[in-house]
Homo-oligomer: A and B are copies of this chain.
Amino acid sequence: MIHPLFEKHRAKLEAALNAIHTRGYWAVYNEMPSPKTYGETAPNDGKIAFEAHLGKKFDLGQPGITDWLGGEQSPFGIDLNVQYPVCDIQALLDAGQGAMAGWQAAGCQGRAGMCIEMLDRLNRQSFEIGHAVMMTTGQGWMMAFQAGAPHAQDRGLEAVTYAYREQSFVPAEAIWEKPQGKNPPLVMKKHFEVVGRGVAVVVGCGTFPTWNTYPGLFAALATGNAVIVKPHGNAILPAAITVRTIRAVLSENGIDPNLVSLCVPAKPETTQALVTHQAVKSVDFTGSSVFGHWLIDHCRQAQVYAELAGVNSIVIDSTDAYKAMLRNLAFTLSLYSGQMCTTSQALFVPANGIDTEVGHKSFDEVCADLARAVDGFLATPEVALAVLGAVQSDATLARIKLADSGELGQVLLASRKINNPEFPKAEVRTPVLLACGAADEAAYMEERFGPITFVVKVTDTGAAIALAERVVATHGALTAGVYSTRAEVIDAMTAATWRAKVALSINLTGAVFVNQSAAFSDYHGSGGNPAANASYCDSAFVANRFRVIQRRYHV
């Protein structure tokens, strides 16, 4: 008996299976907030739905409620004041475990069908979720909509697709017939049951509360596990909306909704108790290296999939499109005020400068031209406000201040505060650009999350490549870039990224940026350097989230 939701979404799943096999361009959920896709009234409906949450209790029907808690501070300065249920973690774990047998019985097809149904429902809520992401993270609207809704949903579908593919390789049953020469064969029937590992915990981050949560959430769910979502304390609403929708789809399909729940802990110790609980068998995490390593050290009972801090870098050797390169970099460094785990922090430029199609540029000229490019790109307030969004945390504001002080390097471009007329309390900052020497490792070789970039003077291109490799190997990175007109430089950089294990963008001068990663095509994180031990999304991200339990008997 084929599950009706598997039947309903079969064509989409098959197209997704083809996409992960070819990894060309493919997407299900429209990244443009088009009325044709989302309906004429969607923008307004979504805004109203978002606003309806404000100042209210966000009920989820979860067990073990002991309190209600809120406290999200919008980087745009609006009052959120949503209250979420604080639930006893043992109650959530027990309820999740209790719901697993029914979820297991649905089989990998049923689970895939229901997961895609959840993603489709979430897609219809894209405007509501976009506003929730914008107002909790400080992302500009277009980014909040795209990364927070359709792109996150695509990443979720990608995880479901990988999970489905791996599970579908396991035959439900087999007849094992072993010849015995002239005697009758030995014949056994075997059954192979796909069983989730246990309860999964997905720990979200404050900047991408859906994009970085959906891969782990849907990978764990599709492989048969219960999931507890523990959002960042300042970005709960997007996760709460997600969990409510998932629970609704589960209920409608006869699955105990407590399979998926939201955990809003009253104190950090609760999170620690949750992730180290014996019932928890996997933890997905995006955030600081400090807590990430704590998780890896302490959650010995669980598989930990962690995306941590890193130092992304670009080697600039030469270019035949100088202006386009500077424009591309200016956008990358400005987008969401550099608050992306994929934003470049160190640009390695040879001391003797670089060759370009408009002549040789000295190191100082490159610095000055880049500063001018960033400044020029953000000259129009409308552009600046849309691209920069707002600064998400006080810690980032403090880092900008430190960088601006000149203590970390020579200030090539100071950060400016910009007023946002629509959100007067929003903390909007332009990037700060610093110059330093290769020896100033203490300055540039530590993640300084936010709009802070170092132009690092290196002896030559060979030294730049060697340094980039070492930074990735020792501090981790999610992205690397190179600009060069010379094949041997690109080959050397390619080989370095194979050794250090980081994705490489080569000569980006158009409308693709080193900090962007497209679902179904770009692997986000290699899983092979200190910035992340897993990748969105590959077989390794899903294959160890379930186990195969066999039984056999004579027939």
Contact = CB atoms under 8 A, between A and B. Distances in A.
Interface of A: 20-25, 101, 104, 166, 169-171, 174-180, 186, 188, 190, 192-193, 195, 197, 296-297, 300, 494-495, 497-498, 501-512, 518, 521-523, 526-528, 535, 538-540, 543-544, 547-554
A547 B527 contact: yes
Contact of A540 (B180, B522, B543): B543
Contact of A175 (B24, B504, B554): B24
Contacts of A511: 180, 186
Contact of A197 (B180, B528, B539): B528
A547 B522 contact: no
**Shortest beta-carbon contacts, A-B, top 8:** A528-B547, A540-B544, A506-B553, A539-B543, A504-B551, A540-B543, A543-B543, A24-B174
A8 B71 CA distance: 65
A535 B509 CA distance: 47
B24 A518 contact: no
Greatest chain B CB density within 10 A among A188, A192, A522 is at A188
A511 B540 CA distance: 37
Nearest to A21: B169
21 contacts: A21-B171, A23-B190, A25-B177, A25-B178, A186-B511, A193-B498, A195-B498, A195-B501, A494-B551, A497-B551, A502-B549, A503-B551, A503-B552, A504-B550, A510-B554, A523-B548, A523-B550, A527-B544, A527-B547, A539-B543, A540-B540
Given A297-B300, A503-B551, A543-B543, 7 more contacts: A22-B171, A24-B176, A25-B178, A104-B498, A502-B549, A505-B553, A527-B544
A506 B174 contact: no
Contacts of A169: 20-21, 539
B502 A554 contact: no
Contacts of A176: 23-25, 518, 521
Nearest to A24: B174
B195 A504 contact: no
Contacts of A24: 174-177
B547 A501 contact: yes
B550 A522 contact: yes
A164 to B, nearest CB: 13
A302 to B, nearest CB: 11
A98 to B, nearest CB: 12
Given A188-B512, A512-B188, A539-B539, A554 B518 contact: no
A549 B528 contact: yes
Contacts of A526: 547-549
B528 A538 contact: no
A543 B177 CA distance: 29
Contacts of A503: 549-552
- Copy number in the complex reads 2
Contacts of A20: 169
A543 B548 contact: no
A377 B501 CA distance: 58
Contact of A296 (B170, B300, B509, B538): B300
B186 A512 contact: yes
Contacts of A193: 498
A538 B543 contact: yes
B535 A505 contact: no
A554 B296 CA distance: 38
A23 B192 contact: yes
Contact of A528 (B23, B195, B495): B195
Contacts of A502: 549
Given A21-B169, A176-B521, A528-B197, A509 B549 contact: no
Contacts of A179: 25
Nearest to A165: B169
Contacts of A518: 176, 178
A190 B23 CA distance: 9
A175 B22 CA distance: 9
Greatest chain B CB density within 10 A among A179, A538, A540 is at A540
A521 B190 contact: yes
Contact of A497 (B190, B494, B510, B549): B549
Given A498-B104, A498-B193, A535-B547, A553 B507 contact: yes
A188 B502 CA distance: 18
Contacts of A550: 503-504, 522-523
Contacts of A523: 192, 548, 550
Nearest to A551: B504
A174 B538 contact: no
Contacts of A174: 22-24, 521
A522 B21 CA distance: 28
A24 B104 CA distance: 24
B171 A498 contact: no
Contacts of A544: 527, 540, 543-544
A295 B551 CA distance: 31
A321 to B, nearest CB: 10
